[in-house]
Amino acid sequence: MAIYGYVRVSTRDQNEDRQMIALQQLSVPEKNIYIDKQSGKDFERPMYKKMMRRLKPDDLLYVKSIDRLGRNYEEIQNQWRILTKEKKVDIVVIDMPLLDTRRGKDLMGTFLSDIVLQVLSFVAENERTNIKQRQAEGIAAAKAKGVRFGRPPAPLPANFHSVYQRWKEGEITGLAAAKECGMPMSTFRYRAKIYENAKLL
């Protein structure tokens, strides 16, 4: 029997130390710890796939919490089935002692484990949905207050005002104006509209 550990953080900026410490305390060999630094929305993760190829029947897999395995309710259920039924490995979710497939191999134990898994998988996905909703609401509220997202526009060229005036008075075409300002026609028209609106305020 080999012992493995799986660690996942959502971004490269997040720290995996908490998960690593938990696995090291359980004497999981460092060479058997697989770390992915990406979202848990699906299981298309390089290190997870690599670990899956190495797992053999009766091996033991530790994860710190169910949301480290994934955040999609159906996919967590599916992966749990593949790991326990097809790969025939045992899984221990450290933060949830009831999710330990080494215990209760009888019908009642399996039944309880399946119920707990379903509840926790649902909670993980529900939290993911709530986070996305809170982000969307936060962005909408910020936009309503006038907060702008994305890169700030480049400063207007020094000659923009005079070129704009000549274009507005029909002395030069839009194409000529854009060329004088060193920008594409579409950009010139876009910046001219913003400039015009700013003058009206």
Tell me the per-residue pLDDT of 76-108, one tens digit each, with 9 for 90 and over. 888 888 888 889 899 999 988 878 888 766 555
Catalytic residue check, 113: no
Beta bridge partners of 61: 4, 91
Given pLDDT bands bounded at 50, 70 and 90, which one contains residue 111? low
Beta bridge partners of 167: none
Of the candidates 63, 1, 54, 70, the residue with the CA atom closest to the CA atom of residue 26? 63
Quote the pLDDT of residue 26.
92
**90 and 101 Cβ atoms separated by less than 8 Å:** yes
**91 and 101 Cβ atoms separated by less than 8 Å:** yes
Quote the pLDDT of residue 109.
53
| Identified catalytic residue from 10, 27, 162, 186 | 10
**65 and 93 Cβ atoms separated by less than 8 Å:** yes
Quote the pLDDT of residue 201.
44
Name the more confident of 134 and 180. Answer: 180
Tell me the per-residue pLDDT of 12-69, one tens digit each, with 9 for 90 and over. 657 888 899 999 999 999 999 999 988 767 788 899 999 999 999 999 999 998 888 8
Q: Which two tokens mark 98?
A: 């009831």
Looking only at Cα atoms, what is the longest distance across the chain? 88
Of the candidates 71, 55, 68, 58, the residue with the CA atom closest to the CA atom of residue 132? 71
**11 and 4 Cβ atoms separated by less than 8 Å:** no
Of the candidates 18, 126, 103, 110, the residue with the CA atom closest to the CA atom of residue 65? 18
